[in-house]
Structure 1
Amino acid sequence: MEQTKALNALEPFLALTKSATSARAAANLITQATSNPNTYVFTELLQTPQIQALSQSSEHASYLKLLEIFSYGTYASYHTLSTTLPPLNDAQALKLRQLSLLTIAKSPHNLTYEALQHGLGLHNPRAVEDLVISAVYAGLVDAQLDPRNARVHISSVSPLRDLEPGAVPSMLNALREWSARCSTTLVDLDEQIASIKAAAAKRHNNKKAWTEQLAKLVEEERVSDQGVHTQRHGAMLNRALARMQGQRFGKRGSGSLDAGAEDDEAMDVDEDEPDDGESTNGAGNSGKKRASRRKL
């Protein structure tokens, strides 16, 4: 969107090149294009035959170099050649500093107030902040000021800088290196993902085996408990049956056995030797009693 807007702003100047038949007219056209607040790309204007013809003019060839600096150069490169280039008006100076900020933003370590002040030809930190604010409002960058740490934090830059001649091969090399790093990173990520999946599968299998072993132990314990319970239940049942059988036999015949036992005890008592104080008659009576008990 920013490029489209900048190209639309450049269209009137491209149309005027058709009538810029003299070197002075072409030089004036360059001054007007670089002073316009909405023009930020200049490759199309730079490639027109009328502008390229300035290289043959000893008086106005410096305007061609000035347009090249606006296209892909920086304020520092202008300052280096300032003695051989046309002076900048305020609008041109502001725009060249804004465009230079887009180039400098590629290196975050150059975004300190001190580095920007030196690279953009500014006199104090306040001027740096004003320039960054103007670039933000112009839609050139997304940035935040950090006065406490004297830094500028730029999160995005508009693609409004033209490519310097011969920059394509180096850019391709940079893109190839970036692509190689991405491929290496993807391989590392795939290996890490595979390792994580393998570890997760191992944990799952271990958990499954542990669960199965636990269930097996629980089942064995349950069966064992049932066996002990069955044995105890059988023993209790046997004792109950024995008692029931004993009671049954006691009702039918075991009663006589018990009575016989009692008779034996009575007989044992009766058969004890008589005391000395007992009379002979008493002995005789007891003998009769023993005889009668034996008969019973």
Structure 2
Amino acid sequence: MEQTKALNALEPYIALTKSASALRAAADLVTQATSNPNTHVFAELLQAPQIQALNQSPEHAPYFTLLEIFSYGTFADYQQSASALPSLNDAQILKLRQLSLLTLARDPHNLSYATLQDNLGLPDARAVENLVISAIYAGLVEAQLDPRHQTVQVSSVSPLRDLAPNSIPDMLTALRTWSGRCTSTLADLEAQVAGIREAARLRHEEAQAWEQTQARLVESQRGADNNSTSTGAHSHGQSRLIDAAVARLRSGPRNGKRSSGSLDPEQDSDEAMDVDEEEPDDTEAGAGSQGKKQRASRRKL
């Protein structure tokens, strides 16, 4: 979008080169094109035959060099040869500084206030901030000022700089290096993803094994509880029988009668009471009180 706008702004000057037969007219086109605030790319203008002819004239060659600086150079390049180049008006100075900011923004280390001030020929930090703000409003960059840390944080740069001659091999090298880093990064990410998946699989298997172990322990405990319950009930029944037999043996034969073969202690107790009740009273009439005491003691037994 920005490139289309810049090319449209350059079209009138390209058309005027066809009628600029004199070198002076061609030099004036260079001044006009570089002063326009909407022109940011100049490769097509540089390739025009009338502009190429400027480089053949020692008098007008500095205009051709100036157009090259606006196309792919920086403000520092202009300062190094300022004495041999045409003077810049205010519009050209602002334009060249803005274009230089696009080049410097490719490297984050160049975005400190001090570095920008030095490379752009600005007097102070306030001038740096004003230039960055003008570039933002012109749609050349997307950036934020950080006065506290004296830096400019650039998030986006418009592709409005022409390629310098013989810069394609260096660009290809940079692109290959970037591609290699991307490939290495993707390989590392894939390895990390594979490791995460393997760890998740192992955790899932461990969780399943633990659940199965818990299930086996629960079943084993339930079986042990059932066996303990049934064994306890059987022992309780046996103990009742043993208690009844012991009670029968302790009671023994009373009054010439043997106890019945029943193991029920309640039945033995009833029979003992019946025997006591059927026993005749052989006590003398004179010893009535002693006979009553004996009968009472037998009933208790």
- Structure 2 vs 1, CA of residues 228 and 24 (structure 1 numbering), >3 Å: closer, same or farther? same
The alpha carbon displacement at 1:230 in A equals 2.0
- Structure 2 vs 1, CA of residues 138 and 256 (structure 1 numbering), >3 Å: closer, same or farther? closer
The alpha carbon displacement at 1:78 in A equals 0.5
In the alignment, the residues of structure 1 paired with residue 96 and residue 222 of structure 2 have an alpha-carbon distance, to the nearest angstrom, of 88
Identity of matched residues, %: 57
Report the counterpart of residue 193 of structure 1 in structure 2: 193
Q: Deviations over 1:87-131 (max 9, x none)?
A: 101000000000000011112112111111110011111111111
User: 5 Å matches for 1:82-161?
Assistant: 82-161=82-161
In the alignment, the residues of structure 2 paired with residue 256 and residue 9 of structure 1 have an alpha-carbon distance, to the nearest angstrom, of 130
In the alignment, the residues of structure 2 paired with residue 84 and residue 249 of structure 1 have an alpha-carbon distance, to the nearest angstrom, of 138
In the alignment, the residues of structure 2 paired with residue 237 and residue 143 of structure 1 have an alpha-carbon distance, to the nearest angstrom, of 94
- Gapped runs of 5+ residues in structure 2? 245-261, 292-301
- Structure 2 vs 1, CA of residues 50 and 260 (structure 1 numbering), >3 Å: closer, same or farther? same
The alpha carbon displacement at 1:56 in A equals 1.1
In the alignment, the residues of structure 1 paired with residue 269 and residue 163 of structure 2 have an alpha-carbon distance, to the nearest angstrom, of 128
In the alignment, the residues of structure 2 paired with residue 15 and residue 93 of structure 1 have an alpha-carbon distance, to the nearest angstrom, of 25
The alpha carbon displacement at 1:232 in A equals 2.1
1:162 aligns with 2:162: yes
- When the two structures are superposed, what TM-score results if normalisation uses the length of structure 1? 0.83
State the aligned residue count.
270
In the alignment, the residues of structure 1 paired with residue 227 and residue 171 of structure 2 have an alpha-carbon distance, to the nearest angstrom, of 83
In the alignment, the residues of structure 1 paired with residue 271 and residue 117 of structure 2 have an alpha-carbon distance, to the nearest angstrom, of 129
Q: Deviations over 1:179-212 (max 9, x none)?
A: 0111111111111111111111111111110111
The alpha carbon displacement at 1:237 in A equals 5.4
Deviates more, 1:95-104 or 1:185-194: 185-194
2:212 is matched by which residue type in structure 1?
E
Report the secondary structure of 1:59's partner residue: coil
C-alpha RMSD of matched pairs (Å): 3.0
The alpha carbon displacement at 1:2 in A equals 0.8
The alpha carbon displacement at 1:256 in A equals 8.4
- Gapped runs of 5+ residues in structure 1? 271-277, 287-296
In the alignment, the residues of structure 1 paired with residue 218 and residue 169 of structure 2 have an alpha-carbon distance, to the nearest angstrom, of 72
The alpha carbon displacement at 1:258 in A equals 2.9
Report the secondary structure of 2:155's partner residue: strand
Q: Which has the higher helix share?
A: 1
1:8 is matched by which residue type in structure 2?
N
1:258 is matched by which residue type in structure 2?
A
In the alignment, the residues of structure 2 paired with residue 182 and residue 109 of structure 1 have an alpha-carbon distance, to the nearest angstrom, of 22
Report the counterpart of residue 221 of structure 2 in structure 1: 221
